[in-house]
Amino acid sequence: MRVLTTGGAGYIGSHTVLSLIQAGHEPVILDNFANSSPEAIRRVSELVGREIEYVEADLLDAERTREIMLAGNFDAVIHFAGLKAVGESVAQPLRYYRTNIVSTLNLLDAMDEAGVRTFVFSSSATVYGAAGVARCVEDLPLGTTNPYGATKLHIEQILDDLAASDPSWHIAKLRYFNPVGAHESGRIGEDPRDIPNNLMPFVAQVAVGRREQLSVFGGDYPTPDGTGVRDFIHVVDLAAGHVAALEALPAHAGSRAWNLGTGEGSSVLEVVRSFARSSGRDIPFTIVDRRPGDVAELVAEPSRARAELNWKAERGLEEMTRDSWKWQSQNPMGYVEEETA
């Protein structure tokens, strides 16, 4: 399939573009490089041994989005593009609502006009909000605790309403748990622009010496070691989940949610220990207060994706920390270093 991949230069998008090509599909990247670099596309090209078509564009530009869609002869769209930092969304709610929701509306309008009605959306386990249950099934009542999460929930609702209005839409809402790791080559990976918000990139930067120590947010949760438990999923498994969803969608009219997680929880301290083993480096940490908005435990029930998409995560925590370290140690300053070298 010829697949417009918005946000395809980003962390999850770049790994998915690689998987799509390896599965025989033809991704075309649309990205404004707000949080990514063309260097990521260059490196994916290098890994697959061919050029990758891409266009620099902003989905907030409705007319440009429409032109690209009408001219592109696409079979489907995978929509990664958007803003994703929870804390930033609390400080800049309008920017988050505008970027995430308006750009999705622009894209869906353009798709409708072009008659392209197969859509894979990057949703998030954040839509389970403060559910307070450890193991999330897709049919749980949803809720959110911050504007970023609210954008995902609103978009899910928009997609449900759209599918209900016209049965020719085939929509996958993929709820990612905690994507981590990198391609095993160490050539592409996660490259946060500022201080990382998420655990794994922060730990990686401590290991490589960019940051002094990790603050562990909370040591008194009702979990086996008192630290938060999450369902970390290797980004290469996540990428494969997109290919599986794309290939399964023709059999699924309407709008449907699938969790992409492993079903296994790991605590913050387990991640730190695994990273220390993988890197052979010390990871100094201090336990500090809980971070507002965090829950004790959030783990996927992944059986729906297994049954309906024929997909399951294959990689465990050791592979996640190993590959994250490979990327971080080979690219201590991310993509920027090579560009300016």
Question: Catalytic residues, which ones?
Answer: 148
**At its nearest, how many Å lie between ligand NAD and the CB of residue 95?**
10
**Does 156 sit near ligand NAD (CB under 6 A)?**
no
* 60 touches ligand NAD by CB under 6 A: yes
Among 19, 89, 104, 124, binds ligand NAD (CB under 6 A): 124
Q: How, if at all, do strands 232-234 and 54-56 pair?
A: unpaired
Q: Which residue is nearest to ligand NAD (CB)?
A: 10
253: burial class by Cβ within 10 Å (0-12, 13-18, 19+)? Answer: middle
Is residue 58 near ligand NAD by the rule CB under 6 A?
yes
Which residue in 86, 108, 309, 320 binds ligand WQD (CB under 6 A)? 86
15 binds, among ligand NAD, ligand WQD, none (CB under 5 to 8 A by kind): none
Q: Which of 198, 247, 281, 306 binds ligand WQD (CB under 6 A)?
A: 198
Kindly state whether residue 7 participates in binding ligand NAD, applying the rule CB under 6 A: yes
Residue among 38 and 93 whose Cβ is closer to ligand WQD: 93
Annotate 146-214 with DSSP letters as a single string: SHHHHHHHHHHHHHHHHHHH-TT-EEEEEEE-EEE---TTSSS----SSS--SHHHHHHHHHTTSSS-E
Evaluate whether 217 touches 202 at the Cβ level (below 8 Å): no
Residue 88 half-sphere exposure, CB side, CA atoms within 13 Å? 14
Q: How far apart are CA 245 and CA 250, in angstroms?
A: 9
Instruction: Name the one range near ligand NAD by CB under 6 A: 10-18, 223-231, 290-298, 330-338.
Output: 10-18
Q: Write the binding mask 24 to 53 for ligand NAD: x where contact by CB under 6 A, - elsewhere.
A: -------xxxxxx-----------------
Rounded least distance, CB 26 to ligand WQD, Å: 27
- The H-assigned helical ranges of the chain are 11-22, 38-48, 62-72, 86-91, 93-96, 103-114, 147-165, 199-207, 235-248, 268-279, 303-309, 317-330, 335-340
Alpha-carbon torsion (98, 335, 274, 20), positive or negative: positive
**Contact call for residue 202 and ligand WQD (CB under 6 A):** yes
Task: Tell which residue, 124, 111, 114, 118, has the closest CA to residue 156.
Answer: 124
Candidates 36, 100, 106, 126: give the one binding ligand WQD (CB under 6 A).
126
Residues 206-235: x where in contact with ligand WQD by CB under 6 A, - otherwise, as a string: --------xxxx----------x-x-----
Residue 242, CA distances (Å) to 98, 178, 223, 248, 257 in order: 25, 15, 31, 10, 13
CA 256 to chain centre: 18
Task: Assess 228 for contact with ligand NAD (CB under 6 A).
Answer: no
One residue of 27, 72, 147, 179 binding ligand NAD per CB under 6 A:
179
- Torsion sign over Cα 201, 204, 210, 211: positive
**Part of the chain binding ligand WQD (CB under 6 A), chosen from 13-21, 128-136, 198-206, 242-250:** 198-206
Residues that bind ligand WQD (CB under 6 A): 84, 86, 124, 126, 178, 197-199, 202, 214-217, 228, 230, 268, 291, 294
Residues that bind ligand NAD (CB under 6 A): 6-7, 9-13, 31-36, 58-60, 80-82, 84, 99, 103, 122, 124, 176, 179
